[in-house]
Amino acid sequence: MIKLSDTQRKIVEHRDGALLVIAGAGSGKTRVLTERVRNLLENKIGHYRVLALTFTNKAAEEMRERLSDITDLENKAFIGTMHSFCMEVVNQRGSAIGVQGIPHIFSSTGDLIQILSDVFKVNPSLQSILIKKEKPQQFLGQVYQFISEQKRSLRSPEFFLEKPDESDEVNLSAYLYRQYDDMLRAQNAIDFDDLLLLTYKIFTERPKIADMYRRLYKFICIDEAQDLNFAQYNVLKSICGEQFKNVMMVGDPRQAIYGFNDASSEFMCSDFVKDFSPTQIELTENFRSSRAVIQVAQILEPDFQMEGILPIQGEVQAFCCANEQEEAEWVVKYLEELSRKGHNDIEGKVSWNKCAILARNRYVAKQIEEKLSKSSIPYYIRLTSAQESESELIKCFELGMRLLINPADYIHFQQLAKLLNVNNTDITLHKSTDDGNTILRNLYDCAMNSNRSKDSWHNCGDALLSAWKTLTDDNPNFLKALGILEKCAESTFENEIQQKEMVVNDIAMWKQHWKKYVSTSSYGSRTLTQFRNQVALGTTQLQTEKDAVALLTVHTSKGLEFDVVFVIGMCEGIFPDYRAIQKQGKALLEEQHNAFVAVTRSKRLLYITYPKFRKMPWGDIRAQSPSRYLTQMGIPIFSTK
């Protein structure tokens, strides 16, 4: 039995009625959330499931691991992100609002902007409007942003006018929203924003379905509730209706860092309180961070008051480096020294998986990534949520897989045709059949007549065709397909070491995706469509490496903790971000939350660095000043020289 404090036990044993838990960093939030789910499942009265919604796939995986001793867990609880839950709802109940079959998720922004571009191509009057734009791609990006904002505001395309008005940008964007949505549906596809919008429509337009979900899920638990946005909160309300109150929210308004995604802690702290009248409990004990880390965290967020702080002093230091190269070199050397010598405040050896390097954004991490790659230190990168294939061969395989499961997918057909050097005049092939294998065979035949090197491509082409043939939607022999491509790479790229390495790495990545999918699905229910959608949702991504340093952005570090944390690039204009400095107000407040999140990832040792000079992307060398947060925290700054 896990030991709980009196306050934690009160939360875990709470039964009926709404519950709001304000849980500071290191207060055991994950523990109480997990143990409450356990308590609800092990002390069931009647037949029901628990709906546990997490902010990240990693948090969901961690919760499932902690509850793995519960028999038949997957049938007793849904544990996953809100987007994963919405995907399940749309798959099972989408027909109630006209969504046929299992829709395919288009997750790449580039793919979605291409859809928008095609809207203009098929309409001469719209094309003339685009041609007049000084920066057409920028205009397309702005229209796509408008569409995304409407969906996040739960406004369907049918709310908007059917005729475009070139003189009115908002009216034109609204019309394009309708056309964009129609083109997506014609390809049996949806985007991420659709998952929430369609689920909301299902529950509000078909109240009997919402009522069925309320009976199925008697308790709802929501993690990281400070990062809910308008759409997510209203999807929750649409499930609950007027009477259902068994909702638990756990979060910390001091860690609200997703304002760029329209998230606001007000949905947890204000709307939830008004709509659900929850019992409110605050966790104020700290079970994670050293005294030194707590001290600087409290300077950044004065209302971060913790009781029962660990009796470990820890260490917080700041260093100024000559430039970004020296900063990266110093971090690598210090990591190596900690690994060799250890530290008094860390029990046992300082292994690599106890260490993390955090950057405000992925661009700041470039120099340190380069230095790590040349060192003997193992590391893994989580600078964005996406994992993409790098080699042409595996990109072709992936695009072909999309066409096998969705022959109507014209966007990815175009991308595959381009990779195969098939001319635009040959793209009429797509409309000649609704069979994915036939489309791929026709593309292959056209590729053989292109200017691509026939000998090299013939080997790859035959392998691709063979690999695609092993993939059927209801019985995909995915590992066999990858084996065919692996064998091809061995012979075709024997003398092209870099190309071969990219193919091998891509195949290893896709093997891991498949392995993860298999581990979370039952044998008879596996389909290629479901697998591809799970990859798009991020549920098949590798979450950690066994013994490696983590290279993260502040946003991808959310929910993680390490004995040793280095926060690099802590200078004005980087951290806080220059755009937040210009905007002031909420944007700058969120940057302070980012700084709070960064320092509280550390359990014991925290080292903050910044370069005195930075080389700008256009080549200029510019002097840097230390971040206002370093000044605010009052940490002495040492030179690395």
Please write the tens of the pLDDT for every residue from 422-472.
765 455 555 556 688 888 888 888 877 765 545 455 568 888 988 998 987
Other beta carbons within 10 Å of 66: 17
Q: Which residue bears the tokens 């571009």? A: 117
Average pLDDT, integer, range 552-557:
88
Query: Domain 104-187: which CATH class?
Result: mainly alpha
Could you list the residues known to form a binding site for ATP, using ranges.
23-30
Other beta carbons within 10 Å of 616: 8
- CATH no. for 6-91+197-286: 3.40.50.300
Residues of 417-448 as b/e, b for ≥16 C-beta within 10 angstroms?
bebbebeeebbebbeeeeebbebbbbbbebbe
**What are the pLDDT digits (tens) for 164-196?**
565 666 778 888 898 999 999 888 899 999 999
Question: How far is residue 352's CA from residue 546's CA, in Å, rounded to a whole number?
Answer: 9
Predicted confidence band at 31 (pLDDT cuts at 50, 70, 90)?
Answer: confident
**Given a cut of 90, is residue 101 above it in pLDDT?**
no
**What are the pLDDT digits (tens) for 216-257?**
999 999 999 999 999 999 999 999 999 999 999 999 988 887
Name the superfamily (CATH) of residues 291-382+545-639.
Answer: P-loop containing nucleotide triphosphate hydrolases (3.40.50.300)
pTM of the model: 0.79
Residues carrying CATH 1.10.10, the chain: 104-187
Predicted confidence band at 203 (pLDDT cuts at 50, 70, 90)?
Answer: very high
Q: In the structure encoding, which two tokens stand for residue 375, read together?
A: 């060192």
Tell me, what's the pLDDT at 613? 93
Tell me, what's the pLDDT at 276? 96
Residues carrying CATH 3.40.50.300, the chain: 6-91+197-286, 291-382+545-639
**Given a cut of 50, is residue 508 above it in pLDDT?**
yes
Q: Which residues contact 331 (CB under 8 A, 6 or more apart)?
A: 357, 368, 371, 566, 568, 607, 609
Q: In the structure encoding, which two tokens stand for residue 115, read together?
A: 């859809």
Question: How far is residue 567's CA from residue 161's CA, in Å, rounded to a whole number?
Answer: 49
CA-based nearest residue to 596, from 633, 563, 568: 633
Tell me, what's the pLDDT at 591? 92
Is residue 606 within 8 A of residue 357, CB to CB? The reply is no
CA-based nearest residue to 600, from 636, 571, 629: 629
Could you list the residues known to form a binding site, using ranges.
23-30
Tell me, what's the pLDDT at 69? 92
**Beta strands 77-81 and 247-251: pairing type?**
unpaired
